[in-house]
Structure 1
Amino acid sequence: MPILLALDASSSACSAAVLLQREGGDDILVSRFALTPREHTRRLLPMVDKVLAEAGLAPAELDAVAYGHGPGSFTGLRIAAGLAQGLAYGLDRPLLGVSTLEALALAAHRRHALSHVITALDARMGEIYVASWFCHEGVTEALSQEAVMPPERLQLPAAHASCDWVGVGSGWTLRETMPDEIRTTVRQGDATLEPAAEEMVLLAARAYAAGERHAAHDVQPVYLRDQVAWKKSQ
């Protein structure tokens, strides 16, 4: 009966969730979510305390800690990583990093029953963080690598171009700058949808069940923009 905690501060929202998986019974999922720009440092730890208290759990009962490792806000990722690593170190528990774009795809699937989803987050500086997914029966499958790019360079996965695509996430506020093919083929979804710990804890539970375990110091935020800059310099 694994018990997992997830937290996130990768966007203008911050959130926390705890999942109790019970054999032969319904899982218990408790979450908190709030749009709190520039208040993540003050709000995130109290959220963690609240979901644990509502679930009737002490921190020592956790089997693992997870957090949204990006891509996303540089400052927000550092805040979440610091808190998650501190908890994992202090409790001597494994730490799991969860993709914010995958969590966004799972949210679109769970809340709007979407199957072919392009998740895009506004990366500022005229760019978006983006990836495409196939979602079915609560499972997400990546159809493209996560990337950062100007929205005018966005393309559909070649092997799946004829699918019924829907775009979600803050990056779709830049829809008018995307190529004609995207604007005519991809239906507008929910541009207000933000990554959330509720989906991250479900993704973390799947990874944990598959045997994924990491020491706290081995899990680092994913800064796609830094990776792209590094590759260009080689």
Structure 2
Amino acid sequence: MKILAIETSTEACSVALVHGEEILARSELAPRRHGELVLPMADSLLAEAGMSRQALEGIAVGRGPGAFTGVRLAISLAQGMAMALDLPVVTVSSLQALAMEEDAGSDDILAVIDARMGEVYAAAYRRGADGLPESLSDEWVGPPASLTVPPGGPWSVVGTGWATYAAQLRERIGSVAAHDGACYPQARNVALLALPAFRAGKGVSAEHALPVYLRDKVALTLAEQGKH
């Protein structure tokens, strides 16, 4: 299949292209520059593969949770390209894509993204027989000291939530097999997670490719900012 994947829910801006059995990818840590980088990245990958956009068969996109502007950008771009090219879309949890970054510890994986405002986005997964992480819990947002994990473990913890709140998270999850606070969701993993859905014909039309924010409040008020 020929699939373009976009993931911009965190500080990492990434695009990937599935081209037959090959996956090409671009990724850059570039806070607040996603809008200027993502389309040139996509065009670069298509040029490297010798493909036009018209040759694409689907668009995969990280649907969040994550930064509001980043999630909105990825979904908007995916919808726009899908509508223009009449392509199906598969949305993928950005937390599940993050869990794919774990490859050295336990099969029980906790993905945690720093959600700012003293909170984390989190979800628990277990690596399946196919190597893909399967959900053990609902996606959640809240203070790290309030996190509840499902039975399992020891846990491999990945994501910026660990970098910011390691002490609080360790108290909540108990045994930690491995941890990496410098991991971000990547488009190559969005592509890998989306492929089974595309092959099963489960892509949706552009208007049904929807974001997941987990919370309605996406920014501090001016009064709240004055307290920090």
- TM value normalised by structure 2: 0.89
Q: Who is 1:146 aligned against? A: 139
Residues 115-157 of structure 1, C-alpha deviations (whole Å, 9 max, x = no match): 1110000011111000011113422211111111110011221
CA displacement at 1:113 relative to structure 2:
5.8
Q: Who is 1:120 aligned against? A: 112
Q: Is the 8 A contact 2:97 2:186 kept in 1?
A: yes
CA displacement at 1:181 relative to structure 2:
4.5
Query: Aligned partners of 1:45, 1:3: CA distance in 2, in Å?
Result: 17
Counterpart of 1:51, as a letter, is L
Q: Who is 1:204 aligned against? A: 194
Cα root mean square deviation, aligned: 1.6
Q: Who is 1:4 aligned against? A: 3
Query: Aligned partners of 2:22, 2:172: CA distance in 1, in Å?
Result: 42
Q: Is the 8 A contact 2:162 2:169 kept in 1?
A: no
Q: Greater CA deviation, 116-125 or 135-144? A: 135-144
Counterpart of 1:177, as a letter, is Q
Counterpart of 1:135, as a letter, is R
Q: Match of 1:18, SS?
A: strand
Residues 199-226 of structure 1, C-alpha deviations (whole Å, 9 max, x = no match): 0011111111122121101111101013
Q: Who is 1:84 aligned against? A: 78
CA displacement at 1:66 relative to structure 2:
1.1
Query: Aligned partners of 1:45, 1:5: CA distance in 2, in Å?
Result: 11
Q: Match of 1:5, SS?
A: strand
CA displacement at 1:185 relative to structure 2:
1.3
Q: Is the 8 A contact 1:152 1:179 kept in 2?
A: no
Q: Which of the numbers 150, 159, 163 marks the counterpart of 1:157?
A: 150
CA displacement at 1:17 relative to structure 2:
0.4
Q: Who is 2:212 aligned against? A: 222
Q: Is the 8 A contact 1:118 1:132 kept in 2?
A: yes
Unaligned runs of 5+ in 1: 22-26, 228-234
Q: Is the 8 A contact 2:125 2:133 kept in 1?
A: yes
Q: Is the 8 A contact 2:106 2:154 kept in 1?
A: no
Counterpart of 2:50, as a letter, is G
CA displacement at 1:65 relative to structure 2:
0.5
Counterpart of 1:226, as a letter, is D
Query: Aligned partners of 1:45, 1:89: CA distance in 2, in Å?
Result: 16
Q: Match of 1:144, SS?
A: coil
After TM superposition, which residue ranges in structure 1, 4 or more long, deviate above 3 angstroms?
none
Q: Who is 1:230 aligned against? A: none
Q: Who is 1:20 aligned against? A: 19
Structure whose residues are more often helix by fraction: 1
